[in-house]
Amino acid sequence: MELKYQGKTKDVYQLEDGPLLLKFKDDVTGENGVFDPGANTVGLKIDGAGRAGLSLTTFFYKKLNAIEVPTHFISSDIENATMTVKPATVFGKGLEVICRFRAVGSFLRRYGAYVEEGQKLESFVEVTIKDDDRLDPPISADALAELQILSLEEYETLKQRTVEISNFVKAELAKKGLELYDIKLEFGRDAETGEILLIDEISGGNMRAYKGSDYIEPLQLEKIMLSK
């Protein structure tokens, strides 16, 4: 295996037969030891976070594949905290697509003069570019097209799939009495076909979930969602 990329929460390896292998770590994003799915730095290490994140990611990807949502997921090995995926090229140097159902986090920090904390939002989608030096700034559809990161048509596909996937995850959480406040997704183009695929993970490390007014930590979210 060839190490292709070391990320904040997982490493990427090239397998000899074509697919990629993602190795999940116990690192999670945040600041000053506090978890924050919207942060662009590793804030803390949580023992078992890698396997927990992979378990929940596997749970959601299998369900999405079953309803024919295009994803890069092939298989996973929970014990070794690895996931085998189709190769995909990212948009530009990488994008993050956030779907928000409540005004919290960076959305509230930016627009607090116009919204109340926790105010309901209607599947609000925003895109940020991966750029640690510039704190992952938000970017508009027009700017994405102007910079040739993606076309306006691709943006509409990205937005539509983000709303579809995010509401699917929200509905799954609701079955366990949980509310999804926001979720961060990533997409890429299938390296062979060019089709837009959901990539990366869907876990407690990239969403905020609450039970009533209580925030559910990533490892606890995995336990709740995967319990019988």
Q: Do the Cβ atoms of 100 and 109 come closer than 8 Å?
A: no
Report which of residues 41 and 186 the model is more confident about: 186
**Rounded to an integer, what distance in angstroms lies between the CA atom of residue 228 and that of residue 7?**
33
Give the containing element (helix H, strand E) for 180: strand 179-190
Sign of CA dihedral 161, 163, 169, 172: negative
Amino acid present at 95: L
- Secondary structure element (H or E) that encloses residue 73, with its range: strand 73-77
Beta bridge pairs of residue 120: 102
Q: Which parts of the chain fold into alpha helices (H)?
A: 49-66, 105-111, 141-146, 152-174, 218-226
Tens digits of per-residue pLDDT, 4-52? 888 888 899 999 888 999 999 887 766 666 666 656 666 667 788 889 9
Do the Cβ atoms of 91 and 104 come closer than 8 Å?
no
For 178, phi and psi rounded to 5 degrees? -110, 155
Which tens digit of pLDDT belongs to each residue from 77-114? 999 999 999 999 999 999 999 999 999 999 999 999 99
